[in-house]
Amino acid sequence: MRKISLLLFTLIFYSSVFASSDDGSDAVRAAVKRIMPNVSPDSVTPAPVPGLYEVIIGAKVLYISKDGKYLIEGDVFDLVKMKNLTETKRTRGRLKAVSNIEEDTMIVFSPEKVKHSITVFTDIDCGYCRKMHREMDDYMAEGIEIRYLAYPRSGINTPSYFKATGVWCADDRKQALTDAKNGGKVIKTKTGCKHPVKDHMAVAEVVGVTGTPTLVFEDGQVIPGYLPAKRLIKFLDSKGKR
C-alpha cells in the first residue's frame, strides 16, 4: 500500500511539474492562427514582460498573453537600460526584409566613393520623391548611395503602378526613372517583362511603409519623408559615431 501511495505521489508530482513547465506557446500560436490564418510567425518566444509572449511577423511585433486570450500592440521599454526593446526587434525585421532583395532588382545611383548607402521606397508621382531625385547630384557629392525600390502608393494596376513597371522594364532604368520623375512620356511596360514592382511592394508592407519617400538605413532604422543631402549626411555620420 505504501509503495502504491508513493507511486501515486510521484506521478502526481511529476505531472504537475510538466504541466507547469508548459511554456504556453501552443496557446499563443493557436491564437495567431485564429486571427491571422494565412500568416506563419517568424518566432514565438517569451516576452521580457512575464506572462506575455512576443510574436514576430516580419517587422511587426505583437505581444500575446500566455493563455492566448489577449493581444497587445505597442512598445516595451526597458526602464533600467532606457531602451525600446520592441523597436530593436522591428529594426531587425526591416533589415532582414530589405537585405533579402537582390540589388539587381533595384535602381541604384552610386557616387565614386560610397560613404553611406540607403534604400529608398519611391513613387514616380510623389512630389517629394521627385524633389529628392532632382537633387541626386547633391547626394552623390556627399557620398550617399541611393538604392531605389518601387512603391506606387496608389496600388497595383493604377497609373503610378504602370509607370513603375515601365521604368523597371526599360533597357536603361536609371534614365527612364529620371525621365519619368521629370514628367516625361510614360514608358509602356514591355510584353513579357518580369519586373520586381510587386515584390518591392510586398517588402514595403513588411517594413511598414505608408508614404514616400521612405528611407531605410544600413542599420534597419526607417525615416519617412524627404531629407536634403546636407541634413542626411549629418544624420548618417552621427549614427556612425554612436
Strand partners, 43: 56
Catalytic residue among 123, 125, 130, 169: 123
How many whole angstroms separate alpha carbon 81 and alpha carbon 114? Answer: 34
Active site residue 169: no
Has 123 been annotated as catalytic? yes
Average pLDDT over residues 111-136: 97
> How big is the CA angle at 220 (ends 90 and 96), to the nearest 5 degrees?
75
Query: Considering 90, 94, 125, 129, which one is annotated as catalytic?
Result: 129
Domains annotated for the chain, with CATH where assigned, are 22-78 (3.10.450.70), 99-241 (3.40.30.10)
Options 90, 94, 130, 153, the catalytic residue: 153
**What is the mean pLDDT of the segment spanning 136-151?**
98
CA 197 to chain centre: 16
Residue 36 scores a pLDDT above 70 = yes
How do residues 152-204 score in pLDDT, each as one tens digit? 999 999 999 999 999 999 999 999 999 999 987 777 888 889 999 999 999 99
Quick one: pLDDT at residue 4?
42
* DSSP per-residue codes, 162-196: HHHHHHHTSSSHHHHHHHHHTT-PPPPPPTT---S
What is the spatial distance between Cα 115 and Cα 144, in angstroms, rounded to a whole number?
6
pLDDT in tens, 93-105: 999 999 999 999 9
Whether 34 sits among the annotated catalytic residues: the reply is no
Average pLDDT over residues 116-135: 97
Q: How confident is the model at residue 23 (pLDDT cuts 50, 70, 90)?
A: low
Q: What is the mean pLDDT of the chain?
A: 88
Q: How many CA atoms lie within 13 A of 202 on its CB side?
A: 7
